[in-house]
Chain A
Amino acid sequence: MIRFVLLLSRQGKVRLAKWYSTYTQKERAKVIRDVTPLVLGRPLKLCNFLDWKDNKVVYKRYASLFFVMGIDESDNELITLEIIHHFVEILDKYFGNVCELDLIFNFHKAYFMLDEMLIAGELQEPSKKAITRVIEAQDQMVENAKMGTTPTSQQRA
């Protein structure tokens, strides 16, 4: 299973962090502290996998962002690498040419999309179309709810 997902900027800033195994706040900070230099410090053209403690780290760089996943030692590394790519494609489809700034100002959107793609550290939905459909429906529901606020508050008055 995927134990954690991190999005790191080239400067090592965390843009997204999601934990599927139980880590305390301290442990989370330690994982980030340990993994960040390992990943950022690797020269280009090396393989995308790292041994790290009892886990394996699979990462890939897209422009200025590093997408990092920690998986079990026995997990399939290449399919994890493609899950990362799948996620990037979903982000790209939603934002249209996604860049780091999109993810900074709309970090909550990135979390929503991740939640539609992974549950319990496992791939939930392999169809990009299905995911973007769900996210758009969610956006719509939020919009509807916003419209709905006025009548309820009037009723109360």
Chain B
Amino acid sequence: MAKLQNMRGLQNFISDIRACANKEHEKTRVDKELGKIRKKFASGGNISEYDKKKYVWKLLYIFMLGYDVEFGHKQAADLIPATKYAEKQVGYMACAILLNEKDEFLRLIINSIRNDLISKNEAFQCLALGFVGNVGGQEMASLLAVDVMNLLTNGAVRAIVRKKAALCLLRLLRKAGPEADILQADTWSVKMANLLEERDPGVLLAIVTLLLGIVSRSYEGYEGLLPKLVAILDRLKKREVQPDYTYYGIASPWLQVKCLRVLQYFPITDDPALLNILLEILRKIITGTEVAKNINKNNANHAIVFEAIALALALEADTELLTASVGLLGKFISVREPNIKYLGLENMVRLAEVPAVNDAIVRHQKSIVASLKDTDVSIRRRALDLLFTMCNRNNARDIIHELLEYLEIADFSLREELVLKTAVLAERFFPDLHWYVDVMLTLIDRAGEFASKDIWHSTVQIISNNEDLHEYGARKVYEALQRGSVHEALVCTAGYVLGDYGNTMKGVPPSELFALLQERFPSMPPHAKGILLSAYLKLCLMAPQDIQLKEQVMEVLSRYARFMDADLQQRAVEYMGLVMHPDVAKRNVASKPPWEKRGSLLLRRLMHRAGGEEPDEQEHKPVWMQDENGDAVESPTAVQFAPPQAVPTSPSANGHADDDLLGEEAAANGDLPPASIPQPVDPLADLYGLQTGPAPAQALPAGPADPFSVSGDPYALTGGQSGADLRPSGDTEEWFRRLCASSNGVLYEDSCLQIGVRSEGFRGPSGQLLLFFGNKADAFLERLLCVVPPTPQFQFQLGAVPARLEPKKQIQVPLMVACVSTFLDAPRLQISYTLASGQQCNQSLRLPLTVNKFCRAPENAIPADMFFTRWRTLAGPPQKVGERITRTLQLSKPAVEKLILDMGLGPQPGLDPSPDNLVAAATFCFAPPGQQPQQVACMVRIEIERTRRLEAQVTVATPDVNVTASLKNLLVQLITKL
């Protein structure tokens, strides 16, 4: 292999790397080499040209291995202005691999590139053209396009340079701004016409490729080139081409494909003779291509065939030719060769949009359906696309039937799309409504979790809008429930349909329907439970004489009247009132009114998947973004209560309004007579009923006044006693601080008991703390008590705590938390237990429910002007408060930044003019009972004193006094001890 120059250093290095046993060795070897190269380059100018080249190649190799070699960019770029080809070549190559068009570095070499372009050295010109063609961006387009155009049109320049110039120009055309003066049609159409006379097949390919780039933007002005393109195609088909340029006996398939592609962009020519020649060529390609033995020859031939079919479509060719195309593609679909099968399906999709050949395509339906079961997912996907496109009123029954069959075996990656597409087809082509209901219910049943809301919403919509479907629909869902369907979407559908039309079925008592639904009730998520509760109410009203049913329903309702979820609780309470007053209920509970037609839910969904926005599902804009649209909020209180929400007309419509497909709920009229409003229930009244015995809050030391000091003085109670040491084995404050910026950790530990915490959810108004109680001792912990004293700022629901904890055992207790207003101090957890010896331990611990836990970091960076406007609006205390911290240890910015991130606040780098300072933003969320969740925008600035880094200033600004104070105190505490 004499032609491969030996570069021994490079070869040795590559061998070394290959010999490395693992990634670590490789990294050591690479680091060593990088060190060496860096030193060499830093040492100044004494590197031989050979070495320079060698080092740059090594850097490239290292780069390919995935390491960063940024310092080498300059070394590579330095080789470009070299006068020797060997160095220049390496320089261009390395820069092309290392840089992309956005790199600032390109600015520095643009002059050298231009010098090479306008030099008389052909080899240099080639290097420069190749580089610009692969890496060039907008700036090069404006600076170099003229030189490149000159090279292309200069007849004295050799073919090897001109073909590169043509493609380089294509790159610049793609990158140039719309206003750039590059390849204007008025002058270039003539030049292109001349260029198409080119006889060198390499140059001609490049020119036709360039033309494709031009006409794909606009063909206007270039119509005159049509005859020339047809002539080129004609020549190729007659095989008038040099032997070098045939590929497996085919005259330049690349050029044929490009010509056929360019022609698709022009409107149909009004010259009938030209059109005839072209159609004749296409006819020959489509009907005359024979299958060869050689795979490469076949591929090239078929590449041309597919392009010809696409052109025949664009030219609106006669039905005969299109039918022949369908026949050919149909044959492709039924062959075993996977590539051809794939492309047959893909191209058939385009033909399926032509009504004239639809019948011809349907003839291949069987093999298309069979492709759904192909082993190759690429092919299955194409088959699904094709079935979707070719479906019409006549074959919808069959195709949908096949799709439903396929749904049972389809892979997960396809399912969601499959479900959606089946639903859309059913909606578009259903032959009769009963059939539609059958299909949709089967779909919901089989799709499982892949059935989106829209699908069952549509089903309910159709059933309730058509009176003659009421009984049919009710019976169908009833049957599905009897068969044992348990999926959420089906249960929700059943809830709606049975609630409204359950009584239309003869011989099925509401109590049976209730039993079927109630079986599934416990495993349903809250919004589905809400739907079921409404259904229960309606079932109850259907059978006023059924006392047993009424009792059962009341039992469920009364259980949920104390439920944590505000929506469910409210429903339950209201419905209890209605069940007790059937006369009121009769007047106020009605079935759903018919739906307004508002376009297909499913089609919107499909469009959304294709990239559009789905307006319904947009979340509320975060509080940060609200003053973007003009209604800038000046007063702090307004910010606090933004967004201004309309008071919901229906009390039960809050919460899961989004899931409530029927905008109006049963009791939604809002004009219930006062008598029917149930007694107000304190949601917390009974939650603590599980504590029997003395109220623990009194048994424990009173909470200290200073929220930041250690709880009371528990030592005093136990300090003097012998026996087990029941003092905390560490600093409870330190544990607490850690938990403030972490989702799990130790809350408390002594020699017998350990309490761990894990928080789940949050970053919003509610979440859950999992408390882990572990008995470390060898004996029982007796009379274990665990209480969260109620506070007006929070709602709690604590799981049951057993009175005895077995030795060496750990239990979990969930604590659901909802923040209902702003607050100053974290709530407390009080625990106590007794050892067999009689020793007692009481602790009052701060729960890590600090203000930041209910904060959400903004998703996007806050624009500076928005931030500062708000910052300035909050003039000073008590909304904007600062405090100075003095530390004994130096404070580093990354540490503070990490703390901010861990706390869940969103750092906003770049907002503060000084790089030493740190600015963060967040949204504090809380949800007052029965109201929309509310948000408070929080801004934080931390300045670190620059020289000694021992002092820092924390400033917090929010429109809410409590949030400001608690966030400031927390930050001060955490940073002081950081």
Contacts and interface: CB of A to CB of B under 8 A. Distances in A.
Contact of A24 (B102, B245, B378): B102
Interface in A103-146: 104-109, 111-112, 115, 119-120, 122-130, 134, 136, 138-139, 141-146
Indicate the member of B201, B202, B379 with the most A CB atoms within 10 Å: B202
Given A119-B171, A120-B168, A107 B64 contact: yes
B93 A127 contact: no
Contacts of B160: 134
Interface in B37-72: 48-50, 57, 60-61, 64, 66
Contacts of A62: none
B571 interface: no
Interface string B296-314: 1001101100110000000
Nearest to A127: B244
A127 B202 contact: yes
A108 to B, nearest CB: 6
A76 B339 contact: no
Is chain B's binding surface mostly helix, strand, loop or mixed?
Answer: helix
Contacts of A143: 5
A49 B3 contact: no
A157 interface: no
B376 A82 contact: no
Contacts of A85: 296, 299
Interface residues of B, number: 72
B539 interface: no
Interface of B: 1, 3-5, 11, 14, 18, 48-50, 57, 60-61, 64, 66, 84-87, 89-90, 93, 96-97, 100-102, 123, 129-130, 133-134, 137, 160, 163-164, 167-168, 170-171, 174, 201-202, 205-206, 209, 244-245, 247, 252-255, 257, 261, 296, 299-300, 302-303, 306-307, 338-339, 341-343, 375-376, 378-379, 381
B167 A48 contact: no
Interface residues of A, number: 63
Counting from the closest, the 8 A-B pairs by CB-CB distance are: A47-B338, A78-B303, A120-B171, A119-B133, A79-B303, A119-B167, A145-B86, A46-B376
Contacts of B134: 18, 20, 115, 119-120
A149 B49 contact: yes
Interface string A35-62: 0000000010111111100000000000
Given A47-B339, A111-B93, A125-B163, A24 B100 contact: yes
B86 A146 contact: yes
B128 to A, nearest CB: 12
B93 A112 contact: yes
A105 B245 contact: no
A76 B202 contact: no
A76 B50 contact: no
Contacts of B381: 51
B244 A122 contact: no
A48 B339 contact: yes
Interface of A: 14-20, 22-24, 29, 43, 45-51, 76-79, 81-83, 85-86, 94-96, 104-109, 111-112, 115, 119-120, 122-130, 134, 136, 138-139, 141-146, 148-149
Nearest to B381: A51
A119 B164 contact: yes
Contacts of A78: 299-300, 302-303, 306, 339, 343
A37 to B, nearest CB: 14
B167 A77 contact: no
A141 B129 CA distance: 18
29 contacts: A18-B97, A22-B100, A22-B101, A47-B342, A47-B378, A48-B338, A49-B342, A50-B378, A77-B343, A78-B339, A79-B253, A82-B300, A83-B254, A85-B299, A94-B3, A106-B4, A108-B90, A115-B96, A120-B170, A123-B205, A123-B254, A124-B163, A124-B164, A124-B206, A126-B254, A128-B244, A134-B160, A145-B86, A146-B86
Contacts of A111: 93, 97
A130 B202 contact: yes
A141 B96 CA distance: 20
Indicate the member of A48, A78, A85, A136 with the most B CB atoms within 10 Å: A78
A19 B100 contact: yes
A79 B339 contact: no
